[in-house]
């Protein structure tokens, strides 16, 4: 893994703990080239510093990555240099409300791209997960932040140790998990990072 940490973020930090990038790194390592993503869609850019770190990590593992999109309705949170760096690495920064104006654009993107990773870190995790999960194709992955499988797991294993924000558990996304054949990726790094990771059965 390239050395990518919060230290890459001199002005403002990204809203992740230090387990997030290693979790994605380990997953990429564990996948064969045929299973790795061709397109990555991040919902919730904020400062863009996590987008940039993730994009560098993806390029390290997948030099042929087709596309990387990051969406936010308030890209003013991003330094101009960060946006430039994302674009220099082949990423696209898109502005708009993902739950309204951009819903069709994002669902088309999921449907029409090769293997997709969809990262949900927007303001309404449950809504975006349930809204976009139905467009996933077999072999695609969906991730959601500020997650624990249950409140009990969050209180026992995560709060006060790794992350203090819980916005989504399996309960309100259970319908999508079952209806769209999503299998959880069990990895302690994802749990410590407070990211849920699911793969749609091939």
Ligand X SMILES: C[S@@+](CC[C@H](N)C(=O)[O-])C[C@H]1O[C@@H](n2cnc3c(N)ncnc32)[C@H](O)[C@@H]1O
Cβ density class 136-147: b for 16+ within 10 Å, e for less: beeebbbbbbbb
Cβ 54 to ligand X, closest distance in Å?
A: 9
- Nearest distance from C-beta of residue 98 to ligand X, angstroms: 4
**In the complex, least distance from residue 34 CB atom to ligand X, rounded to whole angstroms:** 28
Please give the helix or strand (H or E) that residue 45 lies within, else none: none
Q: Which residue number, 124 or 170, has a Cβ lying nearer to ligand X?
A: 124
Distance (Å, rounded) from C-alpha 133 to C-alpha 195? 16
**Of 74 and 179, which has the nearer Cβ to ligand X?**
74
Chain residues binding ligand X by CB under 6 A are 14-16, 44, 46-47, 50, 71-74, 77, 97-99, 121-123
Cβ of residue 139: shortest distance to ligand X, in angstroms? 24
Classified as helix, coil or strand, 42 is strand
Nearest to 28 by CA among 3, 67, 54, 48: 54
Residue number with CB closer to ligand X (62 or 99): 99
């Amino acid at each position: 893994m390239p050395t990518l940490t919060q230290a890459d973020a001199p002005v403002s930090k990204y809203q992740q703990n230090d387990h997030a990038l290693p979790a994605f790194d380990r997953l990429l390592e564990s996948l064969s080239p045929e299973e790795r993503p061709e397109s990555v869609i991040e919902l919730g850019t904020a400062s863009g510093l996590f987008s940039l770190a993730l994009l560098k990590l993806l390029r390290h593992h997948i030099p042929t990555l087709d596309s990387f999109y990051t969406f936010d309705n308030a890209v003013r949170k991003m330094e101009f240099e960060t946006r430039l760096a994302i674009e220099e690495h082949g990423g696209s920064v898109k502005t708009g409300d993902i739950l309204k104006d951009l819903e069709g654009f994002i669902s088309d993107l999921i449907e029409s791209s090769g293997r997709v990773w969809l990262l949900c870190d927007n303001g309404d995790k449950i809504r975006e997960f349930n809204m976009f999960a139905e467009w996933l194709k077999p072999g695609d992955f969906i991730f959601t932040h500020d997650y624990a499988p249950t409140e009990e797991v969050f209180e026992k294993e995560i709060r006060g140790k790794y992350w203090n924000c819980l916005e989504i558990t399996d309960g309100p996304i259970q319908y999508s998990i079952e209806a769209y054949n999503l299998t959880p990726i069990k990895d302690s790094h994802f749990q410590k990072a407070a990211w849920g990771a699911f793969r749609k059965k091939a």
